[in-house]
Amino acid sequence: MAPEPRIVKETFTRLESDPAGAMSFFYGRLFAAEPRLRALFPPAMGTQHDRFFHALTRLVWSQDNPEDLARHLGRLGRDHRKHGVLPEHYPAVEAALIATLRFFAANVWTAEAERAWTSAYRSAAATMIEAAERDAADAPPWWLAEVAAHDRRAGDLAVLTLRPERPLPFLPGQRVSVQTPRWPRVWRPYWIANAPRSDGMLRLHVRARPAGWVSGALVRHTAPGDTVLLGPAAGSMTLDRDSGRGLLLIGGGTGLAPMKALAEQALSSGPGRDVHLLVGARDGRDLYDLEELRLLESAYPRLRLTTVLSRPPEPHDAPGRAPGSPQGRLPDVLPCFLDRLPHWEDLDAYVAGPAPFVRSTATALQRHGMPLSRIHHDLLDAEDEPPRAGTPAGTSAGAPVTSPRVPAGSGSSAHPPGRTIRSPAPRP
């Protein structure tokens, strides 16, 4: 390992032992030196502390992978435009960061360590500034969008249709960050639930989270005619343009949204591509988009929809919403499902949902023999969506995913459209 990356990693471990303390110290120094910068940040800084530490961790541990690091920093630089970050703000961040490292890594801090960190930070800042300047040439820092429709599907869930004031470019499988007038400077990312349309409309599936400022405002305090701000689309969980293989799309909870967008794109781009869509939910009431999914399935014969419920049906479930849906975790159901698909190993697989769901599902695919190069998710690009109690099918963490883009299988469906399948017996 080259000396500079090694020193950067070794000194950073001192911050990893007390990330909360390190971030409090960092922002205290930053705002004391540059009080005007406080206006760029949200009122409550807890989540911001976590995000900055996560970004710093990615910077440190990607030192040996310059191509991945450059892509990540470019995305951050473009995304930071919506916060009002300017090139002149970066030196203040550098000074606060070096002061934090000098304090928390005092027992191993040397002039060589300071040179290594200064070099690493300035290189990262230059990449981010350059990406932001390129982006500014043809894109705004954010888009104003009108809420064209607000469909409350459940007490804690709504489907929003947004009309941006100008075209917002995106690819199916990407996210867009949202800021509401109720909470200025607080942004939260949501998957786009449709492929690009001629009218430019975007649909978002939003579940209100406990103490979720933006999600609660979008679900409970937003109506048609209101406006929100949208950041640029981001994320790499997009279709491989060079692949004509069929798709296995797996969504848990609101992770259905990007799977639906990917399905629309694949089905409209060519008549010969099979698409297998697996939707995990706690029970029939959580299949909030089932009616639209059935319509999509009826319009495209090559789409096969399968629902997997982690709880048994209850008497008060809406009739006809998920007849025969079994009880079982979706990762446990996967081997049974795949065994019914001839040539499943030739499919491209995409997985979205809460982070534990994605990890356990990707692990199940790998263990069944699906090649890593054909399993795709966006855990490294997106902020993990915090799981709530009883999140659908497979919320236990399971084994860690060993690849940033984890892929999988193929073939045509061996069961009727929309058929639900039964979970195998629990494993010991």
Amino acid at 18: D
> Counting beta carbons within 10 angstroms of the beta carbon of residue 425, is it exposed (0 to 12), middle (13 to 18) or buried (19 or more)?
exposed
| pLDDT of 182 above 60 | yes
Structure tokens at 16: 């990893």
Structure confidence by residue, pLDDT tens digits, 71-108: 989 999 999 999 999 999 999 999 999 999 999 999 99
Residue 345 pLDDT class (50, 70, 90 cuts): confident
CA atoms within 13 A on the CB side of 397: 4
Q: Considering the chain, what percentage of its residues have pLDDT values greater than 90? A: 64
Domain ranges of the chain: 3-136, 143-230, 238-428
pLDDT, mean of residues 389-407: 33
Distance CA 79, CA 326 (A): 42
pTM of the model: 0.80
What tens digit of pLDDT does each residue of 294-319 get? 999 999 989 999 999 987 766 655 54
Q: In CATH, what number does 238-428 get?
A: 3.40.50.80
User: Cα 100 from chain centroid?
Assistant: 30
Cα-based distances in Å from 323 to 26, 208, 210, 318, 343: 54, 27, 30, 10, 28
Q: For position 211, what pLDDT does the model report?
A: 85
* The pLDDT of residue 242 is above 60: yes
How many CB atoms are closer than 10 A to CB 183? 16
Provide mean pLDDT across the span 181-201: 95
Residue 16 pLDDT exceeds 70? yes
Topology at the third CATH level for domain 143-230: Elongation Factor Tu (Ef-tu); domain 3 (2.40.30)
3-136: CATH number? 1.10.490.10
For the chain, the straight-line distance linking the first and the last C-alpha, in angstroms and rounded, comes to 42
Report pLDDT digits (tens) over 371-383. 888 999 988 665 4
Q: Please state the rounded mean pLDDT for residues 151-164.
A: 96
Which H/E stretch holds residue 366?
Answer: helix 355-367
Strand order in 202-207's β-sheet?
188-191, 175-179, 227-230, 143-154, 157-164, 202-207
